Amino acid sequence: MKIISDIQELRDHLRGQNRASFVPTMGNLHEGHLSLMRLARQHGDPVVASIFVNRMQFGPNEDFDSYPRTMQADIEKLEKEGVYILFAPTERDLYPQPQEYRVDPPQQLGDILEGEFRPGFFKGVCTVVLKLFSCVQPKVAVFGKKDYQQLMIIRRMAKQFALPVEIIPGETIRAEDGLALSSRNGYLSTEERAEAPELQKVLKEVRERVLQLKDRTSQSISEIEKVAVASLAGRGWQPDYIAIRQQSDLAPASNEQLQAGEPLVILTAAKLGKTRLIDNLEI
């Protein structure tokens, strides 16, 4: 595997390749990331991965400095997966001048849910992803459904800018107890790690209640959300949101849409101690 930090060197190595398959990451790789590498291999060749912890998408009080950086272990994992190039730029490589041109996603997608609790997050994500696409010029790029809203925003960005890249979604990989794999799981204490699968359990309970709504309309969608938030809070979590939304555009779902069979998704973010976890479940 070639490890490249310089944009020009990357371009030199990829010259003539028009089927490259790209997986952007922030490193500290786990099975979730590696599943995306395998998916990427099915859709193109060569597979290019990137590792870059993008300061622009972290808020001032977030974990940019403490975000786990495990480059050596990551390199070994990517080599085992047969990745052809690891693009691992430094901040100076990717942002040699201050990045003044940025991609601002539409408010109705970028300022809700994650965007409400992490202002500017999706602007940072879209800007770095567009720039990485420009560096790698892949034919396909793979993103995890674990970051459901991010996947949707990037798909729409690619479409609206007519980027010549197909966005492929990868399923969420979980630990045996149901907790979605995440680099941030490493922040959890032993007790918190034991509690963490509750997030997925609550989502499953919400799904059950929503499906029951199809028969009796006594409880509204917003009541179900409130009960779920209270249940997490009662166990010591600090939930940011549990939201039942339409899969198509993440707009709030109504009982009527549910009756009409509109595909829905439940999204959540909640803090356990100092660790903020996100997850989602499609209905």
- Give the residue ranges of the annotated binding site: 26-33, 57, 144-147, 150, 173, 181-184
Q: Which residues belong to the annotated binding site for (R)-pantoate?
A: 57, 150
- Residue 36 within binding range of ligand AMP, rule CB under 6 A: yes
The 177-216 site mask, x for binding ligand AMP (CB under 6 A), equals ---xxxx---------------------------------
The bridge status of strand 275-282 relative to strand 264-272 is antiparallel
187: amino acid identity, one letter: Y
Question: Is 43 noted as a catalytic residue in this protein?
Answer: no
Out of 33, 41, 118, 123, the active site residue is 33
- Residue 268 within binding range of ligand AMP, rule CB under 6 A: no
**Of 10-29, which residues contact ligand AMP (CB under 6 A)?**
25-26
Is the backbone of residue 261 left (phi > 0), alpha (psi -120 to 50) or beta? left
Nearer to ligand AMP, 54 or 137 (CB): 54
Which residues are registered as beta bridge partners of 141? 22, 167
Residues in the chain: 283
- Residue 50 within binding range of ligand AMP, rule CB under 6 A: no
- Taking the C-alpha atoms of residue 219 and residue 209, their distance in angstroms, rounded to an integer, is 9
For residue 52, give the nearest of 111, 119, 133, 163 by alpha carbon: 133
Out of 144, 149, 152, 265, the residue judged to bind ligand AMP by CB under 6 A: 144
Task: Let me know if 261 is exposed, middle or buried by CB neighbors in 10 A (0-12, 13-18, 19+).
Answer: exposed
Binding site for ligand AMP (CB under 6 A): 25-26, 32-33, 35-36, 143-144, 146-147, 170, 172-173, 180-183
